[in-house]
Chains A and B, each alone.
Chain A
Amino acid sequence: MAVIGVGRFIQQRQDFEDSIARSYQVEMVARERIARGTGGEPARAIVRQQGQRRAELRDEISSDTRDTALLVAAGLLAGLTGALLLFSGLISSMRRPLEELVAAAGKLASGDRSARVEVGGLAETATLGAAFNEMAEELELEESRREELDRLKDEFVLTASHELRSPLTSVQGFAELLMLERESLTPRQAETVEVILDNCRHLVRLLNDLLDLARSDAGRLAIRPRPTEVAPLIADVVRTMRAQTEADGQALSEQVPPGLLPIEVEPDRVRQILVNLITNAHEYSPEGASIQVAVQAIGAQVEIAVSDDGPGIPPDQLGRIFERFTRGDAGLTQRVGGTGLGLAISKSLVEVHGGSIDAESTVGEGSTFRVRLPIAAAPAAGDGQADPSRTTAEAS
């Protein structure tokens, strides 16, 4: 097979056209001589010769054309195969580093800040790997700085709370002392002392809430759960809260069915949760509202529901109600003295007990907060006294 390049093929084609044209010219000259009667037999031979020559030329050129087409096709095929081989080589040399990168990114995202990749292979993937490692390094550093800051914040809150408590004890204690001799105070003096006491209580609440949140954030919100009877706990909380609700003409009632199994909780913490919920119901509801604490057993849990027939919580606020510093619209009442932390803390506290809390509300009809806490397991042999303490870190 004649192997020729495309350039040569074009040149040949040109030569072929020229040869055909020349052959026709020669034939025409011969035919003129025949027509004039001067050519004779030699001229007729030329005509035959030229016809034959053109046929040969055409055969030759068509075979060359076929060869060239084949050649071009073969060239294309070879080129494609080469490109394919090159690509698959490229892809396989990129694939491994990329797969490694994806795996490392996954680890990094799931919290393993020590995830790194091996830098190597193609220049591009190597650069990518180096950039990834740099980013991971930065993240790891950032995290350790944040942990340090968290620890400092924690320490600060604990120390501040501790240091503030002693002077607060004195202020509140002496104000109470004055109130013990109320009859010897003028009405204006008594009112002044009441204001001092109100503000002391608010400060104490704020301190306690901040402390709880700091502990909760640090995973150190410790509880010591023990089997606890529900009815006396509820009765105690309701009795404590009744002074406040009655002052506003609100009815606070409890509904506790008999025969409830004890729950596995730290009583003081559950008291704190219920006081938070009842205080909210009290402060956000108008005078004369009714607040109900209803208890029922649901499976392995006891549900304590605190309901009010107050103004309710709009749906857009209800979703954020357990976030810290979220406070309902206090437009209806000026008595709202909370810290905006109560529900966030209640949620942390419920969760560290292995329970759950949710809120339900209809604007204009009232709100219900439901706390579910685990029923205590029947006392096993050995009384389960081993290590009853639990923290947020373990519970989450």
Chain B
Amino acid sequence: MATILVADDSETILLLMRTRLEMAGHTVATAADGQEVLDHIANGVAPDMLLLDAMMPRKSGIDALREIRGAGNEVPALIVSAHQNPGDADAPTDLAIAAYVTKPIDFDRLLETVTQLTS
């Protein structure tokens, strides 16, 4: 099973994500914004996958991912977006985003994607 770094500015969503991912057997680290994600990685957390909310205060998931990619880290990443159709949000195409996850989250599909990306 995989280690997943999850970032969202909503504590309840973090709790939900952690619960569902742990129930599926994954190990979960959480962050409240993009800066915490970078801090975790700087402190030696080496996730198999990132699950980042697109919009967070301080530093968005997109901005955090941009820095991670800038440092040469190619860890698979999913972006969670409140937009129904992230295709028409300003979706960056250069960050190797494996998939967009829309809210409300379809956990069956999310868990399937996590399995595909980390196995």
Residues of A within 8 A of B (CB): 161-163, 165-166, 168-170, 172-174, 176-177, 180, 200, 204, 207-208, 211-212, 215, 220, 222-224, 266, 268, 389
Q: Do B23 and A180 have beta carbons less than 8 Å apart?
A: yes
Chain B, range 14-73, C-beta contacts under 8 Å to A: 16, 19-20, 23
Instruction: Name the residue of chain B whose CB is nearest to the CB of A162.
Output: B82
Shortest Cβ-Cβ A-B pairs, 9 listed: A222-B88, A173-B16, A169-B104, A165-B103, A165-B82, A170-B12, A169-B103, A162-B82, A172-B104
B-side contacts of A223, CB under 8 Å: 87
Greatest chain A CB density within 10 A among B12, B20, B103 is at B103
Known contacts A173-B20, A174-B16, A177-B16: A165-B104 contact under CB 8 Å: yes
Question: Bound state CA distance, A204 and B102, in angstroms?
Answer: 11
In the assembled complex, which residues on chain A have CB atoms less than 8 Å from the CB atom of B84?
A: 161, 207-208, 211-212
Q: In the complex, what's the smallest C-beta–C-beta distance from A106 to chain B, in angstroms?
A: 36
Cβ–Cβ contact A222 & B85, under 8 A: yes
Expressed in whole angstroms, the minimum distance between the Cβ of B34 and any Cβ of chain A is: 17
Most buried by A among B13, B16, B20, B84: B84
- Using A177-B16, A180-B23 as known contacts, say yes or no to A169 and B105 having CB atoms under 8 A apart: yes
A200: B residues at CB distance < 8 A: 104
Is B10 within 8 A of A224, CB to CB?
no
Q: Which residues of A contact B88 (CB under 8 A)?
A: 215, 220, 222, 389
Complex interface: chain B residues within 8 A of A222 (CB): 85, 87-88
Given A173-B16, A177-B19, A168 contacting B87 (CB threshold 8 A): no
* A-B contact list, 28 entries, CB within 8 Å: A162-B82, A162-B83, A165-B82, A166-B13, A166-B82, A168-B103, A168-B104, A169-B103, A169-B104, A169-B105, A170-B16, A172-B104, A173-B16, A174-B12, A176-B107, A180-B23, A200-B104, A204-B104, A208-B84, A211-B84, A215-B88, A222-B87, A223-B87, A224-B87, A266-B87, A268-B85, A389-B87, A389-B88
How far, in angstroms, from A142 to B23 measured CA to CA in the complex?
57
| A224 and chain B: residue at smallest CB distance | B87
Residues of chain B within 8 A (CB-CB) of A166 are: 10, 13, 82, 103
A51 to chain B, nearest CB (A): 117
How many chain B residues touch the partner (CB < 8 A)?
17
Residues of A within 8 A of B87 (CB): 222-224, 266, 389
Interface majority SS (helix, strand, loop, mixed), chain A:
helix
List B63-119 residues whose CB lies under 8 Å from chain A.
Answer: 82-85, 87-88, 103-105, 107
**Which residues on A sit within 8 Å (CB–CB) of B85?**
222, 268
Query: A220–B105 Cα gap in the complex (Å)?
Result: 24
Chain B: CB-nearest residue to A221: B88
Q: What residues of A have a CB within 8 angstroms of the CB of B104 in the complex?
A: 165, 168-169, 172-173, 200, 204
Give min CB distance, B19 to chain A, whole Å: 6
Contacting pair B13 A169 (CB below 8 A): yes
User: Given the complex of chains A and B, what is the CA–CA distance between A212 and B88 in angstroms?
Assistant: 11
Q: In the assembled complex, which residues on chain B have CB atoms less than 8 Å from the CB atom of A168?
A: 103-104
Shortest beta-carbon distance from A168 to chain B in Å: 5
When C-beta atoms are compared, the residue in chain A nearest to B17 turns out to be: A173
A168 to B82, CA, bound (A): 11
Task: Give CA–CA (A169, B84) in the complex, Å.
Answer: 12
Instruction: Report which of B13, B82, B83 forms a contact with A170, defined as CB distance below 8 A.
Output: B13
A174 and B83 CA atoms in complex are apart in Å by 21
Q: Once bound together, how far apart are the Cα atoms of A223 and B19, in whole Å? A: 34
In chain B, what residue has the closest Cβ to A171? Answer: B104
List chain B residues, Cβ under 8 A from A208.
Answer: 84
Closest to A164 in B: B82
What's the minimum C-beta distance from B88 to chain A, rounded to whole angstroms? 4
Q: In whole angstroms, how far apart are the Cα atoms of A224 and B107 in the complex?
A: 25
When C-beta atoms are compared, the residue in chain B nearest to A203 turns out to be: B104
- Which residues from chain A contact B20 at a C-beta distance below 8 Å? 173, 177
Residues of B within 8 Å of A224, CB to CB, are: 87
Partner of A173, one of B23, B83, B107: B107
Closest to B87 in A: A224
Could you tell me the distance between the alpha carbons of A268 and B85 in the complex, rounded to whole angstroms?
A: 9
CB distance from B20 to the nearest CB of A (A): 7
Distance in angstroms from A115 CB to nearest chain B CB is 34
Which residues from chain B contact A212 at a C-beta distance below 8 Å?
84
Q: Please measure, in the bound complex, the distance between the C-alpha atom of A180 and the C-alpha atom of B49, giving whole angstroms.
A: 24
C-alpha spacing A172/B13, complex, angstroms: 11
B32 to chain A, nearest CB (A): 14
Given contacts A162-B82, A166-B10, A177-B20, 20 further A-B pairs with CB under 8 A are A161-B82, A165-B82, A165-B103, A169-B16, A169-B104, A169-B105, A170-B10, A170-B12, A172-B104, A173-B20, A173-B104, A173-B107, A174-B12, A174-B16, A177-B19, A204-B104, A207-B84, A211-B84, A223-B87, A389-B87
